[in-house]
């Protein structure tokens, strides 16, 4: 007997209410195992892979890629094998028979229950399996056509942006020969058909209001997922916490020279030592001297809650928007451990695989907008935090060194730091001391040992 099981979209974060279906990794007719990845979804915080709670055959996908689904709604149906129909064989009589019946009933009940999922409770001993690469829907569509693949027997498979592009260009998808992996219609397929038909090319998500010159007048980008969450959080923070921002421009040549010396050490051979690692270390040391910076404002209790551990958030720009994963108990890490943690955090964020729990419980943040060539800015507090340090670009500039008769101009490494803080928790003196201490440790790293 076959049972049809529905898998409802779970809450994979902290009270999340919806998620977007990004990429299905299975299709109707596929046979899946427990804990095999079914789909990639984008929540308000990150990209998450959902494993299957059932083993069986995929019957139906209830949501297309690009669609936002509420938590609790069914997203996939899977046919699972049940007990065979017919009369069960007679069990031995007496106590032994009753014992056997109880054991069989327990086994049947266990088989009927969905297995716990990887990442959502205790795991099975079997490892999670993904579909073979040639059957997966690609995370990014190729920009050039790949060798032609055999057309699938069912409906043509493609992604929502490609379907929208075909609609804009007036291309019938059914007339195309798919060239993508597993028989998926790609953007290149649609553009090739457009060129053949002489139709003008346009980009997905555009609304052309003045088509006379062949170029769209505006581009509309849906606000959802990480970007939607970030926008709401920033508005809430900006209009809840009274921000104060202070700036300091400083010579960090001594820190840059220290970085070169440390990077040459054998024990740092495999460690990526960016200037941000030393800035983070100086900031953490300064926060130990101004513990009120590692606090949160409790509006309901009308209390300032000072925290013992510093969970250092590193703001990361990703294609899906801004995310701020944090390094737990960062003040306890040595320089090599901190550098490794920052590098791993950034790589995970860029891949879109940062789990929601990695972005929870942050206590302070660093935003390194200097990597974009920006001198300075006014960073907005991550909601619930008291301080955020903005780091500007590090450049060679003429700088006055020496005093009196020895005063002269020299090329030095110079940067600007910007500190925003919640004026409800920290007053001007505390904020100024935190920024001044951070700058002092970078001007002369030896001071951090005092």
Task: Name the residues annotated as catalytic.
Answer: 423
Core vs surface per residue 38-54: b (16+ CB within 10 A) or e: bbbbbbbbbbbbbbbbb
Instruction: Give 319's DSSP letter.
Output: T
Q: CA 57 → CA 4, 6, 276, distances in Å?
A: 9, 12, 49
Return the H-helix or E-strand segment holding 3. Answer: strand 2-8
With left for phi above 0 and alpha for psi between -120 and 50, is residue 205 left, alpha or beta? left
Q: Could you tell me whether strands 395-401 and 408-422 are parallel, antiparallel, or unpaired per DSSP bridges?
A: antiparallel
Instruction: With CA atoms as reference, report the closest residue to 203 among 171, 162, 239.
Output: 162
Q: Which tokens belong to 190?
A: 């649609």
Non-local (6+) Cβ contacts of 158 within 8 A are 166, 173, 178, 184, 185, 186
């Amino acid at each position: 007997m076959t049972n049809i099981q529905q898998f409802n979209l779970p809450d994979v974060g902290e009270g999340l209410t919806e998620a977007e279906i990004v990429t299905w990794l299975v299709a109707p007719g596929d046979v899946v195992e427990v804990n095999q990845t079914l789909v990639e979804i984008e929540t308000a915080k990150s990209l998450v892979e959902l494993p299957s709670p059932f083993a069986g055959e995929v019957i139906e996908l209830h949501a297309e890629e690009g669609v936002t689904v509420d938590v609790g709604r069914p997203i996939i149906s899977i046919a699972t094998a049940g007990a065979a129909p017919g009369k069960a064989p007679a069990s031995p009589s007496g106590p032994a028979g009753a014992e056997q019946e109880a054991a069989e009933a327990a086994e049947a009940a266990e088989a009927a229950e969905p297995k716990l999922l990887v990442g959502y409770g205790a795991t099975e001993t079997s490892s999670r399996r993904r579909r073979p690469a040639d059957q997966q829907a690609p995370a990014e569509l190729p920009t050039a056509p790949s060798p032609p693949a055999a057309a699938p027997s069912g409906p043509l498979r493609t992604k929502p942006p490609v379907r929208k592009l075909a609609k804009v260009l007036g291309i019938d998808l059914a007339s195309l020969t798919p060239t993508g992996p597993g028989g998926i219609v790609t953007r290149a397929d649609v553009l090739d058909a457009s060129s053949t038909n002489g139709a003008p090319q346009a980009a997905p998500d555009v609304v052309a209001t003045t088509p006379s010159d062949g170029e769209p007048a505006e581009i509309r980008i849906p606000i959802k997922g990480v970007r939607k969450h970030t926008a709401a959080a920033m508005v809430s923070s900006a209009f809840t916490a009274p921000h104060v921002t202070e700036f300091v421009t400083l010579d960090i040549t001594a820190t840059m020279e220290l970085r070169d010396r440390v990077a040459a050490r054998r024990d740092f051979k495999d460690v990526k030592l960016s200037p941000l690692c030393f800035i983070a270390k100086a900031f953490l040391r300064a926060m130990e001297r101004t513990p009120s910076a590692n606090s949160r404002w409790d509006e309901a209790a009308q209390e300032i809650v000072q925290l013992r551990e510093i969970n250092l958030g590193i703001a990361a720009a990703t294609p899906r928007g801004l995310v701020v994963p944090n390094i737990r108990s960062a003040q306890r890490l040595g320089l090599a451990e901190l550098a490794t943690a920052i590098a791993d955090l950034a790589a995970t964020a860029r891949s879109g695989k940062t789990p929601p729990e990695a972005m929870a419980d942050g206590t302070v943040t660093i935003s390194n907008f200097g990597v974009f060539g920006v001198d300075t800015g006014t960073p907005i507090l991550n909601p619930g935090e008291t301080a955020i340090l903005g780091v500007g670009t590090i450049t060679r500039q003429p700088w006055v060194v020496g005093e009196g008769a020895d005063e002269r101009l020299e090329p030095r490494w110079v940067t600007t730091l910007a500190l925003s803080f919640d004026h409800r928790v920290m007053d001007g003196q505390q904020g100024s001391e935190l920024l001044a201490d951070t700058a002092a440790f970078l001007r002369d790293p030896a001071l951090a040992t005092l």
